[in-house]
Amino acid sequence: MKILLIGASGLLGAAFAQAASRRKHEVIGIIGSYNGDVDGLRRQISIDLNDLAELERTTLELFPDAIVNCAARSIPSDCENDPEATRRINVEVPEKLALLSRHLFARYLHISSDQVFDGREAPYFVDSEPSPPNQYAKQKLESERAVLDQASEFASVIRAPLLNGNSPRGDRSLHEMLFRSWSQGQSTSLFTDEYRQPCLVDNLAAAMVELCERTDLRGLLHWGGSDRMSRFEIGKAILERFGLPSELVQSSQRGDDPRFADRQEDLSLDLQPMAGALKTRPQTFAEQLESLIVPIAYREWYHSI
């Protein structure tokens, strides 16, 4: 199968490229400014995703059997500060790809987020009513609706949770960002009253490859790890995994700082029907930790302590 992968140099995109390559698929990756090689890609193409006409020309020339969109502007503050620019990537690109998938009769996977929910009525099912609390969440919900409106017969929209793993840049995933703070001498304050369902990108990528290979699972889907954990529990588990001092993580609550009082409390997801239909299984957080490595940029600091 020829797969066109958008956002191939990101945390999830890079993991998907490797997973699909192991299944002997031909993966062609669309990257932005990243100038390194992405393992698993047969070919990589640099495109400014703001240029929808170029994206369309490239897609039509390649004529893929499947399109996988992992590209996103996912920093909430960016979406609040410049909603027009972030909407281009978060909504207009997915919608354009949906139209192209329908034109090409190509399978289409689009990655959304658990952030479309407000965190007040977890666990969330695929038919639970979204209530996006911020601009990023609103854009992700808009992208879901645009994709399914344009290509419901070809598309699967996967709401993904907090992701961890080993990114090509070494600065994209949860544990990598924690290492950056710790290496700069900063202890990290993590909430005891904010719950997530963390997932290893390799596990999500394997599930996505399965979805590309079958056409019976379409529409809205949920995926995540099997454990519901507070941010504080996640941070402490990462410390223990790498044998780091416990004082590098401090406990706090969302209400301690007015800036964070509106953060979603609980975004845990019900993983059916996807979890019951695939060979790939959701992982415990302990299983996920086994795959994490010390990011290259912080290894000198790590070994010094």
Instruction: Give pLDDT tens digits along the chain (305 positions).
Output: 999 999 999 999 999 999 999 999 999 999 987 778 899 999 999 999 999 999 999 999 999 999 999 999 999 999 999 999 999 999 999 999 999 999 999 999 999 999 999 999 999 999 999 999 999 999 999 999 999 999 999 999 999 999 999 988 888 899 999 999 999 999 999 999 999 999 999 999 999 999 999 989 999 999 999 999 999 999 999 999 999 999 999 999 988 878 777 789 999 999 999 999 999 999 999 999 999 999 999 999 999 98
Contact in structure between 95 and 136 (CB atoms under 8 Å): no
Torsion of CA 74, 75, 79, 81, to 10 degrees: -160
* CA separation for the pair 222, 124 (Å, rounded): 9
- Condensed to tens digits (0 to 9), the pLDDT of residues 212-252 reads 999 899 999 999 999 999 999 999 999 999 999 999 999 99
Q: What pLDDT score does 297 carry?
A: 94
**Amino acid (1-letter code) at residue 186:** Q
In this structure, is the dihedral angle defined by the CA atoms of residues 71, 77, 80 and 81, taken in order, positive or negative? Answer: negative
Contact in structure between 288 and 225 (CB atoms under 8 Å): yes
Domain ranges of the chain: 2-164+200-222, 174-196+227-267+283-304
User: Among 19, 290, 269, 254, which Cα is nearest to 161's?
Assistant: 269
Cα separation values, 140 from 76, 131, 171, 216, Å: 11, 11, 23, 24
Which architecture, in CATH terms, is 174-196+227-267+283-304?
Alpha-Beta Complex (3.90)
Q: What pLDDT score does 262 carry?
A: 78
219: left (phi over 0), alpha (psi -120 to 50) or beta: left
Q: What pLDDT score does 22 carry?
A: 97
Cα-trace Rg, the chain? 19
The upper half-sphere exposure of residue 189, i.e. CA atoms within 13 Å in the direction of its Cβ, equals 7
Sequence-ordered list of residues with C-beta below 8 angstroms from that of 48, at least 6 positions apart, any chain: 32, 54
Contact in structure between 7 and 172 (CB atoms under 8 Å): no
Cα separation values, 110 from 12, 67, 243, 262, Å: 12, 8, 37, 27
Which architecture, in CATH terms, is 2-164+200-222?
3-Layer(aba) Sandwich (3.40)
Q: What is the pTM of this model?
A: 0.95
Q: What pLDDT score does 258 carry?
A: 80
Q: What pLDDT score does 260 carry?
A: 76
User: Which residues is 76 bridged to in the sheet?
Assistant: none
* CA separation for the pair 291, 233 (Å, rounded): 18
Q: What pLDDT score does 153 carry?
A: 96
Q: Do 2-164+200-222 and 174-196+227-267+283-304 come out as alike in CATH topology?
A: no
Contact in structure between 30 and 47 (CB atoms under 8 Å): yes
* CA separation for the pair 131, 119 (Å, rounded): 9
Q: What is the total residue count of the chain?
A: 305
**Amino acid (1-letter code) at residue 230:** S
